[in-house]
Structure formats: structure tokens, C-alpha cells
Amino acid sequence: MTSSGTYRFGDTFTVSDMINEALERCGIFGPRQNQNHQNSALRSLNLTLADMANNQLNLWTLEQEALTLLKGQTDYNLPSGTVDVIGVYRRTFERQLGGTPASSAGGVAAYAFDDDFATACTQTSADGNISYDFGDGNTPSITMVGVRSNAQTAYTLSVQISVDDGTNWETVWSQTKTTYYKDVTTWNIIPSARAARYIRLVESGGATLNIQELYFCTQQRDIEVGRFSQQEYYGLPDKTSTGTPTAYFIDRRVNPVVMRIWKPSDGTTTMLFYTRIRQMQDVSGTSQTVDVPYRFLEAVTASLAWRMSIKYSPDREERLALQAAAAIKAAQEEDDQRVPFRATIDWRC
């Protein structure tokens, strides 16, 4: 007898499957289930996810983002669904040059790498690419790509690398159509950096590349930026004088959540990195899957069964509540990064 060799249960276990399982635990089987049960379960499922967000930090909801800073600007709206931020860093990095640029669709490729904002690689046809050959024996792992557009344009960009002779290309980063603003450098994180001699920026959404500067960079050093409380931030006598950003305040009272920077950038610091806690995605249909990893499926299902029992099977509520608590506890204990405990002493105390 052999096992399946597959690992797709978490990908195929739909909301409909979860609701059916929860209702069956409540003693409501097949023909007895109706649309009212489905609607009630969808509502309870979203409340379950909201409750999970309050109970602990869920690792799969952490996302690293880059924030492009504008000179003198204090307030920045964070992405939709942001709950909070747990760390902000100024990152210094090194631009990789010394190789050979090329453009697939006209324009002067070298203008995108000359540190001169008065020039630009302006291609002459849509859906082109700007590539860079770092040279024989040079295979940097590019972790950051900065794009400074010469015009406000909605680009659909991706970054590709080639580990052979520039014939075969692999996409290491992509994004949906996004507006890039004139004279503003937008930084993008390459999540899975790989060493490669060739790299290129590719447009695929019908726009024509018009790029002042294209930065292919390797990571160097992160410097942590401190966090202000609301009282500390609003107590600052001067919030607008520019300089090097050294602290931030997360205003969670508003939607979208706002990061308020102090000091606002004087133009020398162009980017911050931060890790945000995002909201788990809404459940709006039974054909969807729930935005939790495989190890949390039982915890969510058990919690949903308990919530449904309150409404439809109160005689089973106590038992299902105990089962849900045990499943949630097991999942939360598993949702850990498994690093050794470290204790430090602050002798200033």
C-alpha cells in the first residue's frame, strides 16, 4: 500500500467543505442543511478569523514592504488590510554597476544607469525590456530594484534573471499594473534573490518604458527606526523639519492605517522597509479557500463548529467549545519560528 504523494488538501479544502464539516459536528447533516445555515456560517467564519487576529501574531499574515519616501512628506497610507506594523528599518544598499546595459525596444539603455536624472532610456515601442549584463564572473544576488520613471505611467513590471548566457529567463518578481510617478524612485523587494549574471526589467501591460534610472542593488545594512506612541508623536514641537527619519508613529485610528514619519526625509533617505501585519482575507463565497495555512484548518473548523452550535445545537456547545479551544491552542503553539530563547540585561535600569 502506498501513500498519495500529494500535499494538496489545504489547497482543495474549500469554505463549502469547512461549513459542511462544522455543521455535521453540530449534528446537521446533508438534507437538513439550508441556505440560512450557509449564510450564518459565512458570517461566523469571518468573525472567527477576526477573533484569531486578536489572539496572537499569526506568522502567515506578516509581509515585508518597501515605502518610497518623498522629500518633506510626513504621512504615508499603508496598504489596504494593514492591521499594524512590527518593525521599520532604513536600509542602505549598493547599486551594482560596471556591466553592459541593453534595451530591447530603442532608446539609450546607458541613460538608465548614468546617475543623471536629466536623461532617460525612452523606448520607442510597447512591452520592451531593459537588461543588464554584469560581466563574466560577476553574479550578484539582487535584492532590491528601484525604478525612477521619466513620466507618470501605469506599468505592469516584472524582473527576470538568466543564469545561462541570457537565453533563458526566470521571473523572480512581478506586480500588477501600478502607477509610477515622474521623478519618484519606487523600490521593489526581490523576495527570493538568486545569483545571476543577467537581469532585466520587463514591461508586459502595453506601456512603453521611459526610465530615468534603474537600480539593481544588493542589500548591505539595516538600521532600525524607533516607534513613537501617539502621545509621544503629537507631543513633538516640530513635525515638519526634514532630516534623516529616526522614528515613526502608526495611526491605527484611521482607514487606511497611516505611518507618520519623523523626521520627514530631506531627500537623502529614499526608502524604508517595514513588516506589516495584514488582516486575513474576507470569506465571501463557499467556493473559496480560507486564508490560513494547512496547520490551522482544524482550529478554524472546530471554532466554526462551536460558533454554529451556539445558534443551532446548544446541547453540543460545551463539548465543541472544548474541542475548539484545544485545536486553537495546538495550532498557536505550532505557529512558531523555533528560535532559541535569549535573555539580555539592561544595566541602565
User: Would you say 201 and 157 are in contact if contact means Cβ atoms under 8 Å apart?
Assistant: yes
Say how far apart CA 155 and CA 207 lie, in whole Å: 6
* The listed CATH number (2.60.120.260, 3.40.50.1000, 3.30.470.20, 3.40.50.300) that belongs to domain 93-221: 2.60.120.260
pLDDT exceeds 50 at position 348: no
* pTM as predicted: 0.74
Say how far apart CA 35 and CA 21 lie, in whole Å: 15
Is the alpha carbon torsion for 35, 36, 37, 42 positive or negative?
positive
Q: What is the pLDDT of residue 2?
A: 87
pLDDT grade for 111, boundaries at 50, 70 and 90: very high
Q: How many residues does the chain have?
A: 349
User: Would you say 79 and 67 are in contact if contact means Cβ atoms under 8 Å apart?
Assistant: no
Mean pLDDT of 87-113: 94
pLDDT grade for 122, boundaries at 50, 70 and 90: very high
Q: Residue 141 has what DSSP assignment?
A: B
| Non-local CB neighbours of 240 within 8 Å, separated by 6+ positions | 72, 74, 264
Q: Which residue has the cell 510617478?
A: 181
Q: What is the pLDDT of residue 160?
A: 97
CA distances from 59 to 116, 249, 324 (A): 42, 23, 20
Say how far apart CA 70 and CA 78 lie, in whole Å: 15
Lowest-confidence range among 112-126, 175-189, 195-209? 175-189
Residue boundaries of the structural domains of the chain: 9-57+281-334, 62-91+222-278, 93-221
pLDDT grade for 255, boundaries at 50, 70 and 90: confident
Which class for 291: exposed (0-12), middle (13-18), buried (19 or more C-beta within 10 A)? Answer: middle
Nearest to 198 by CA among 159, 236, 227: 159
Most confident of 178-192, 218-232, 256-270, 305-319: 305-319
User: Would you say 213 and 233 are in contact if contact means Cβ atoms under 8 Å apart?
Assistant: no
